[in-house]
């Protein structure tokens, strides 16, 4: 993946230059939140959204997200009726849509060759991988006391920033630097 980033950045810069951008476009990282919790989904969404809004380059949206943050929270309560939660378990997953879509495309390209070569079982496995690809790699779990819900949401977003968004920002910075160099005329050296 690291080898792919300069090529992607160069492609972006070339496209921006050919379209006549005077400067690098103002890039927003689009993030979709998918929260599941019987009693606390709105609260968790509010905490996570508040943290994401602190980043000027992040837009929370359902429209063509680049990243998805899936969060499932369960509450633990005492047996008394109407009791407040005493603890939460939070499972969460960061999904890089571009990477997932690229892997899905590779699998889709390979499936006809697998089936054509008599590898029906292999094609079926590829199909199952494609369906379950969302859960690969970075599922995390936190268990904590109820009073720590807001702090834990803050930590989840800090982790998301460090593991996903910083790499995205580095790519944009790299592309911007290349674009700046492309716009600066190179003096012709006499022979």
What is the mean pLDDT of each successive set of 10 residues along the chain, which is 191 residues long? 47 49 65 93 97 95 91 87 84 80 65 56 56 60 94 96 87 80 74 71
Which residues face 35 on adjacent strands?
A: 71
Give me the pLDDT at residue 27, please. Answer: 75
Distance CA 96, CA 31 (A): 10
Give me the pLDDT at residue 16, please. Answer: 52
- Map out the domains of the chain with their CATH numbers: 4-97+137-182 (3.40.50)
- Strand pairing category for 140-145 and 58-60: unpaired
Give me the pLDDT at residue 10, please. Answer: 42
Radius of gyration for the alpha carbons in the chain, expressed in angstroms and rounded: 22
Beta strands in the chain (DSSP E): 29-36, 58-60, 67-77, 85-96, 140-145
Report yes or no: 138 and 163 within 8 Å, Cβ to Cβ.
yes
Nearest to 75 by CA among 141, 139, 140, 143: 143
Report yes or no: 54 and 160 within 8 Å, Cβ to Cβ.
no
Q: Is the pTM of this model over 0.85?
A: no
């Amino acid at each position: 993946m690291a080898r792919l980033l300069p090529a992607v950045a160069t492609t972006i810069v070339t496209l921006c230059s050919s379209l006549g951008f005077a400067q690098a476009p103002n890039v927003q990282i689009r993030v979709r939140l998918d929260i599941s919790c019987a009693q606390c989904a709105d609260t968790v969404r509010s905490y996570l959204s508040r943290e994401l809004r602190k980043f000027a380059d992040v837009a929370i949206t359902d429209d063509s997200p680049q990243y998805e943050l899936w969060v499932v929270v369960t509450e633990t309560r005492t047996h008394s009726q109407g009791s407040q939660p005493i603890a939460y378990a939070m499972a969460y997953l960061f999904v890089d849509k571009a990477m997932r879509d690229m892997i899905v495309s590779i699998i889709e390209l390979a499936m006809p060759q697998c089936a054509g070569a008599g590898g029906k079982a292999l094609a079926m496995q590829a199909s199952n991988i494609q369906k379950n690809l969302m859960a690969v790699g970075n599922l995390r779990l936190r268990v904590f006391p109820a009073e720590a819900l807001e702090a834990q949401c803050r930590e989840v977003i800090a982790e998301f920033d460090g593991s996903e968004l910083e790499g995205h920002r580095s790519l944009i910075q790299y592309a911007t630097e290349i674009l700046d160099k492309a716009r600066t005329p190179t003096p012709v050296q006499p022979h």
